[in-house]
């Protein structure tokens, strides 16, 4: 049986998979980026939870990351559209089907990456904060 953390990350990946961009989880950057862009979900880390007693509960602010990558002649517009689609997908269901308390993204910091013999990439990491509560930090 998967942990709550894994269930939430799988639900986030499924949510990203509904977008036109290719959505991967924990993969390396492939040699080719599709015209619609590429999203790679990185699991990130849960960090130190806040703990409440009676009943014992662990409240996490898990910080995951979505790497957003586009390539081509109109990188700026494509990148903007890709980030906006991620924001809209998260806003459409802030609890990922009731699996977590809240999902929120932080602003990306884009960079242009030159590629020898091909069009440059525009990429950024979009931090995603997943708020959830569990009765066991290993469950």
Which CATH number does the domain housing residue 94 bear? 3.30.2000
Task: Please report whether residue 18 resides in a domain.
Answer: yes
pLDDT profile of the chain (139 residues), mean per 10: 95 97 94 91 96 95 97 91 97 97 95 82 96 93
> What is the token pair recorded at 64?
């995951």
* Count of structural domains within the chain: 1
Task: Please report whether residue 95 resides in a domain.
Answer: yes
Task: Please report whether residue 11 resides in a domain.
Answer: yes
Between the alpha carbon of residue 87 and those of residues 84, 90, 120, 134, the distances in Å are: 5, 5, 24, 26
Beta partners for 63? 45, 129
Task: Please report whether residue 139 resides in a domain.
Answer: no
Give the pLDDT confidence score for residue 49 in this predicted structure: 96
Domain that holds residue 56: 4-134
How far apart CA 134 and CA 127 sit, in angstroms, is 22
Give the pLDDT confidence score for residue 29 in this predicted structure: 87
Task: Please report whether residue 119 resides in a domain.
Answer: yes
């Amino acid at each position: 049986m998967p942990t709550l953390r894994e269930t939430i990350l799988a639900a986030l990946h499924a949510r990203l998979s509904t977008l036109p961009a290719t959505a991967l989880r924990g993969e390396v950057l492939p040699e080719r980026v599709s015209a619609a862009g590429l999203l790679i979900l990185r699991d990130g880390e849960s960090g130190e939870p806040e703990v409440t007693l009676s009943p014992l509960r662990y409240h996490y602010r898990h910080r995951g990351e979505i790497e957003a990558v586009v390539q081509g002649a109109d990188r700026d517009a494509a990148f903007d559209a890709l980030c906006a689609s991620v924001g809209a997908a998260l806003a459409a269901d802030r609890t990922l089907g009731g699996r977590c308390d809240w999902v929120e993204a932080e602003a990306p910091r884009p960079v242009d990456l030159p590629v020898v013999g091909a069009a440059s990439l525009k990429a950024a990491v979009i931090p995603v904060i997943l708020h959830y509560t569990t009765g066991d930090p290993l469950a």
